[in-house]
């Protein structure tokens, strides 16, 4: 019994947690995902940026004005903006639906008249009723039309795109901008870093001393070949520039410098290709104003495109503002602002601090029909109820994965059309 109670309690929290006021719980004062894998990845993201910042500053730009200008005027600002965007993407509430949120009054009539399928916790089985959408994983809290449940943070997130461990947060309506800026500025830092590395190669070449453990004969032969090449290269430089050795170009790279240089090259190339692919994929989200989950469900025929269409064309839902075209605030990690007249419509719910912290209750005249039978399927008038065999399909919700793995779609239990395709109805005798 205790085990069952513990399991039930875990199901009710569904990943939500809080620590010293930070967390993703309904009562958390500051938003922060406490997912261990996400914390590890975001720490790695920050460490890589700082490593590249200092490695380039101490190893790639000494005694050369062009490299110093590129580093100071481009790399440092891009790196600072990338880290600021990462911080905002991690600590910003992605658009989690607060406990007690209510349907927008203008939409309440139409939402209350929709058909909802849910588990009957009293008599077992499933029941079909008319009413607003609710999320059983969020303790039956109201679920806005464009919201999806994130299993990592344990909250329903408006316009959820995916959960990204590299920012340790779900990506939704309120932090999608910061996620895009993070990968954009990381991509730009990778380009500048590659440029500085190439300049170092072209200007200085590379000279690697052979290790001592090589046999004496082989070592002498290899060393002689390398020395001959280097002397010839140095002589050519002297003839062209009249200098003995170019400033900032060491005669040889020691082990420590070689390790740092190799790591910098590997990290730069990996981040360049990774962020390039991510930017191409995210470009569609900016252009269509639709999240990845919405686009995939629409293409798979699981949802109607009208369900996820933008609420207005006067602004961009990813970057906010007052205009749908490019603006200077798009490129700065500033909080997303929507026009006051459209704020509630974008989020899909109404909420203020005076609302009680309990699930919104519909008017008592909501039409409800339930069936307690198990292992059978019956038809009540125009409504149908599926058997427990299809229970997993009906109650399936969004299970998101990390970047690079894709997204698993769910067939929301609210879509009666998909329910009719899966259920088998038998007439009442």
Paired with 30 in beta bridges are 22
CB atoms within 10 A of CB 114: 15
CB atoms within 10 A of CB 332: 12
pLDDT digits (tens, 9 = 90+) for 29-39: 999 999 999 99
Q: Report, as residue numbers or ranges, the catalytic residues.
A: 164
Per-residue confidence (pLDDT) for residue 246, from 0 to 100? 57
- Residues 273, 271: Cα–Cα separation, whole Å: 6
User: What does the block give as tokens for 199?
Assistant: 């300049």
Per-residue confidence (pLDDT) for residue 417, from 0 to 100? 38
pLDDT over threshold 60, residue 386? no
Per-residue confidence (pLDDT) for residue 232, from 0 to 100? 61
- Residues 201, 414: Cα–Cα separation, whole Å: 60
- Residues 20, 112: Cα–Cα separation, whole Å: 38
pLDDT above 90: percentage of residues in the chain: 35
- Residues 8, 229: Cα–Cα separation, whole Å: 72
Overall residue count recorded for the chain in this entry: 429
pLDDT above 70: percentage of residues in the chain: 62
**Do 186 and 276 touch, CB atoms closer than 8 A?**
no
pLDDT digits (tens, 9 = 90+) for 308-344: 777 777 888 889 888 888 888 899 999 999 988 888 8
Distance, first Cα to last Cα, the chain: 39
Per-residue confidence (pLDDT) for residue 342, from 0 to 100? 87
pLDDT over threshold 90, residue 376? no
- Residues 208, 228: Cα–Cα separation, whole Å: 13
Of residues 258 and 13, more confidence is placed in 258
pLDDT over threshold 90, residue 73? yes
- Residues 103, 118: Cα–Cα separation, whole Å: 19
- Residues 216, 229: Cα–Cα separation, whole Å: 20
Among 153-162, 307-316, 405-414, name the one with the lowest average pLDDT: 405-414
Per-residue confidence (pLDDT) for residue 314, from 0 to 100? 84
Per-residue confidence (pLDDT) for residue 105, from 0 to 100? 80
Mean pLDDT of 370-398: 37
User: What does the block give as tokens for 187?
Assistant: 């991509």
Which pTM does this prediction carry? 0.71
């Amino acid at each position: 019994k205790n085990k069952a109670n513990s399991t039930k309690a875990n199901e009710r929290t569904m990943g939500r947690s809080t620590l010293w006021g930070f967390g993703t719980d309904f009562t958390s004062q500051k938003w922060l995902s406490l997912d261990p894998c996400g914390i590890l990845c975001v720490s790695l993201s920050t460490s890589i940026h700082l490593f590249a910042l200092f490695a380039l500053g101490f190893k790639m730009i000494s005694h050369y004005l062009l490299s110093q200008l590129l580093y100071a005027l481009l790399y440092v600002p891009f790196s600072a903006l990338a880290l600021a965007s990462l911080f905002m993407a991690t600590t910003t509430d992605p658009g989690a639906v607060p406990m007690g949120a209510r349907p927008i009054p203008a939409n309440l009539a139409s939402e209350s008249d929709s058909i909802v399928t849910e588990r009957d916790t009293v008599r077992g089985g499933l029941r079909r009723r008319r009413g607003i959408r609710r999320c059983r994983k969020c303790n039956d809290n109201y679920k806005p039309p464009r919201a999806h449940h994130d299993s990592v943070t344990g909250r329903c997130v408006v316009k959820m795109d995916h959960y990204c461990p590299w920012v340790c947060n779900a990506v939704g309506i309120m932090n999608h901008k910061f996620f895009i800026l993070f990968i954009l500025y990381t991509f730009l830092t990778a380009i500048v870093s590659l440029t500085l590395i190439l300049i170092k190669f072209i200007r200085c070449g590379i000279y690697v001393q052979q290790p001592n453990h090589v046999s004496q004969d082989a070592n002498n032969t290899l060393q002689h070949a390398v020395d001959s090449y280097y002397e010839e290269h140095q002589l050519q430089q002297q003839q062209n520039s009249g200098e003995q050795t170019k400033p900032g170009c060491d005669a040889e790279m020691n082990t420590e410098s070689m390790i740092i240089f190799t790591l910098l090259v590997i990290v730069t190339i990996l981040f360049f290709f990774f962020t390039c692919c991510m930017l191409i994929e995210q470009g569609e989200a900016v252009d269509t104003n639709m999240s990845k989950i919405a686009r995939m469900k629409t293409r798979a025929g699981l949802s109607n495109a009208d369900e996820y269409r933008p609420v207005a064309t006067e602004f961009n839902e990813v970057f906010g503002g007052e205009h749908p075209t490019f603006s200077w605030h798009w490129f700065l990690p500033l909080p997303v602002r929507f026009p006051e007249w459209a704020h509630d419509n974008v989020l899909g719910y109404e909420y203020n601090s005076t609302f009680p912290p309990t699930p919104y209750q519909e008017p008592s005249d909501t039409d409800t029909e339930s069936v307690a039978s198990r292992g059978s399927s019956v038809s009540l008038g125009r409504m149908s109820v599926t058997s427990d065999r299809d229970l997993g399909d009906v109650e399936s919700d969004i299970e998101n994965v990390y970047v690079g793995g894709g997204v698993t779609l769910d067939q929301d239990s609210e879509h009666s059309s998909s329910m009719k395709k899966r259920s088998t109805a038998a007439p009442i005798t």
